[in-house]
Each structure stands twice: as C-alpha cells, then as structure tokens.
Amino acid sequence: MIPALLPNYNRADLAFERGEGAWLWTTDGRRFLDFGSGIATSSLGHGNKHLADAIAEQAHKVMHVSNLYRIPQAEKLAERLVANTFADSVFFCNSGAEANEGMIKMMRRAMYSTGKPERFRFICFEGAFHGRTLATLAATGNKKYLEGFGPEVDGFDHVPFNNLNAVRDAIGPATAGIIIEPVQGEGGVRPAQLQFLRDLRATCDEFGILLGLDEVQCGMGRTGKLFAHEWAGIEPDVMSAAKGIGGGFPLGAVLAKEAVAKYLVPGTHGTTFGGNPLACAAGNAVLDVVLAPGFLADVGRKGQALWAAMSKVVAEFPRVFVDVRGAGLIQGLKCVVPAGDVQAAFTAEGLLTVTAGDNVVRLVPPLVLTDDDLAQAVEMMRRGAARVQAALDAAGKAAAQ
C-alpha cells in the first residue's frame, strides 16, 4: 500500500526535532552539522531568534489578508529590495518555480506590450534548473524530469553554458530573452564566467531582448554579495529569488526594472498567498540580518576560507575528488567516485550535504555559520574522504587477490 505521505522523494532516514545555528539534532538525539541548509534555504540557520520572533509576533497579529488589500509588510520588504538592488519593483510569490513563472510571464508580456508578440522564446542553458512547474520544467530542459509530463511547454531553447557563440547563434526573430543562473546550483555548482555574464548583457542590448537571472539559489547573500550578478557588475532586466529570502519560510520574489515590470497591470498576474504579512515579516527579518554592516563581507570571507581549506583536502585525496568550485558559501566538490558515496561518508561523520548534477557534493551552509563550525566541517570532510579512500584501498586489495 502506498504510504500516506506520497513517496516521491528518496528521503534519508533522519528526522530532526530542533536546531541551533548550523547544527541540527535528530529525534533520537544525534547531532549533525548542516551544510545543506534545506537546499540553500535556511540562510540564518536554525532557531534564529530574530526570525522566529518576527514570525511569531506577526502570526499573533494577522497572517493573511490576500492581495485584495494593502500589505504594509510587503511594501516595506519591496522598498528595501528596491533600495538595495537594480530593481524598481517587486512581485512576491511562494517558491522558486513560481518566481520563475512570474519572470517568464513578465518577459513575454513586455514583448507583447511593446508590439513584439512574436518574441516569446527564451534561451536557457544546459545544466540549468528552474523548477518543477510545466513552464519551468521546459526551461530546465532536463529530459529525465520532463519524461511523462508532455507535451513540453513550447518556447525554451538550450545551449551550452558559458558559450557566447552558441547563445548568439540561437537568437532568432522569436527570441524574447535569455534566462540564466549566475551560479548553477542543481546542475553542479557551476559559476558562469563573469565575462560571460557581461557579454550576455551586451548581447541582450544589441538584439533588443531581455536578460532574466534565476538567483533562487545563488542570491540573497550566498556568494557574499546580496545577489550573485553584482560580482560581474551588470544589471539584469528581471530576476527571480526564493530559497534563502525567507530563511526557511516559503517566499519567492520577482525583481524587475520598471521598463519590464510596468506591463503587469492589474488582472495580468496574481497569487493568493504571495507576499502575505507572515511571509513578508520573515523576509524583512532575514534582510535585517543580511544587510547588517559587515555581514555580506563576512560571508565572502568564510566562503574563501572554505574554498581554501577544501582545496587542500581535494589535493590530499586525488582518488576521491577532482576539484572544488563555487562562490562564497555555495561550493561544490566534484568527485571521482560517485558523489552519493562521498555524501554518505560525510553523513557518517556527522555532516549533512546535498548532491548536485555533474557528480558533485554541494556545500551550502547557513550564512551565519561560525569559524569553528567551518573548521569542524572541514575536519569531518577530511575524515569522510579518508573513509572513502580506505574503501577504495580495500576494494583494490580484494581485486588484486
């Protein structure tokens, strides 16, 4: 008989009952250091008092009223995002896929409203991940995820990542824009070259098409800037955000320039839950922390330290790892052996991580992790790698006998 909870995930047999900072405790009393953050989402870690208090206080006042009314918490959050990014206006929703749907609709509507309704297609990238709704699945383009869910939503063309010639060749009279993750997350922690992002901006301007960034995973402070594209010194026309922006509370956002945003007039797009007082109280509490003086610079410093320490571990275990790559506190360990085996060895040492495409183990700790947490994680990864190495040696001996 099918379990009551739909078994559509391969869940690890771990259940957590509480957390503090970067640490989680299971119901049977074991302690784990969390370098997964619920897939790069628990940006303030676990049990953050400022965030929990903000949510509790708002819950006692009013949680939800719908977008039939003004929502001061949403106005405040939008104003703060506008003040700190390229954007002129923000639409709130509840998840990353929904933010990307909103971004896609906004880009199409802008083309339609400026007399170019034939421009409805998007150039996306191999290795991308944009979500699981029908349109974002098509934007993702991963055949494995699309299987059995056809017909595929039309309008998404895929080209190799970091390849400008392929992008330019793919632009046609039906192209509305380009959608890219500045750092591919699910695809294996693959950063776009900064020059590639600059070239995409110039190419969009040259062809009169729009640049849409998916910063659902790499945004909201994860790379040491509020949003990852800032490293390239460019501004997109539209950008999606989610994951870390609610610190674990479901919240998504589409941030846009006025020239694109202005066409989503009343009646064109909407959501029941999106931007409700509770979610925006969470979003504002997260921003309080992330925008505090020195916070982002410290994320950058910790990211550098993690990368440097893991570069040494990679060099110590060349039969386990190929390299370490990423930006700030989104780093990926590309493995020689199956990434799942490495992840299991880390878990056995008390460290939670997430696998990603391209045989990578993803390291996405809470942004608030301490230097001591970081040092402990590196030691756990060194011991985990030694376990994998020992298993390889044992298998080698057995084969030689």
Residues near ligand PLP (CB under 6 A) are: 95-97, 100, 129-131, 181, 185-186, 214, 216-217, 242-243
We find the least distance from the C-beta atom of residue 10 to ligand PLP, in angstroms, to be: 16
Of 35, 4, 1, 177, nearest to 100 by C-alpha is: 177
We find the least distance from the C-beta atom of residue 336 to ligand PLP, in angstroms, to be: 25
Q: How many CB atoms lie within 10 A of CB 70?
A: 8
Question: How many helical (H) and strand (E) elements, i.e. helices and strands, does the chain have?
Answer: 13, 17
Q: Closer CB to ligand PLP, residue 184 or residue 376? A: 184
Q: Which residue is nearest to ligand PLP (CB)?
A: 96
Is the separation of the CB atoms in 270 and 67 below 8 Å? yes
We find the least distance from the C-beta atom of residue 358 to ligand PLP, in angstroms, to be: 15
We find the least distance from the C-beta atom of residue 42 to ligand PLP, in angstroms, to be: 13
Q: Closer CB to ligand PLP, residue 97 or residue 324? A: 97
We find the least distance from the C-beta atom of residue 187 to ligand PLP, in angstroms, to be: 9
33 — phi, psi (to 5°)? -90, 125
Per DSSP, 252 falls in state E
We find the least distance from the C-beta atom of residue 54 to ligand PLP, in angstroms, to be: 21
Q: Closer CB to ligand PLP, residue 110 or residue 216? A: 216
- Tell me the CB-side half-sphere exposure of residue 261, using CA atoms within 13 A: 19
Distance CA 280, CA 62 (A): 12
Of 142, 160, 213, 146, nearest to 183 by C-alpha is: 213
We find the least distance from the C-beta atom of residue 396 to ligand PLP, in angstroms, to be: 37
List the alpha helices (DSSP H) in 27-186.
37-40, 49-61, 72-84, 96-113, 134-140, 143-146, 164-170
Q: Closer CB to ligand PLP, residue 97 or residue 333? A: 97
**CB burial class (10 A; 0-12, 13-18, 19+) of residue 106?**
buried
We find the least distance from the C-beta atom of residue 269 to ligand PLP, in angstroms, to be: 17
We find the least distance from the C-beta atom of residue 25 to ligand PLP, in angstroms, to be: 25
Q: Closer CB to ligand PLP, residue 97 or residue 335? A: 97
329 Cβ neighbours under 8 A, 6+ residues apart: 222, 223, 224, 299, 302, 303, 306, 363, 364, 365, 367, 369
Q: Closer CB to ligand PLP, residue 95 or residue 359? A: 95
Q: Closer CB to ligand PLP, residue 220 or residue 345? A: 220
Beta bridge partners of 89: 256
Query: Tokens 């509370």 sit at which residue?
Result: 249
Dihedral over Cα of 269, 55, 224, 340: its sign: negative
We find the least distance from the C-beta atom of residue 5 to ligand PLP, in angstroms, to be: 18
Q: Closer CB to ligand PLP, residue 103 or residue 314? A: 103
We find the least distance from the C-beta atom of residue 382 to ligand PLP, in angstroms, to be: 28
79 Cβ neighbours under 8 A, 6+ residues apart: none
Token couple for 256:
């846009």
Per DSSP, 219 falls in state T
Q: Closer CB to ligand PLP, residue 90 or residue 380? A: 90
Distance CA 264, CA 111 (A): 12
Q: Closer CB to ligand PLP, residue 213 or residue 337? A: 213
Q: Closer CB to ligand PLP, residue 96 or residue 247? A: 96
Q: How many CB atoms lie within 10 A of CB 309?
A: 18
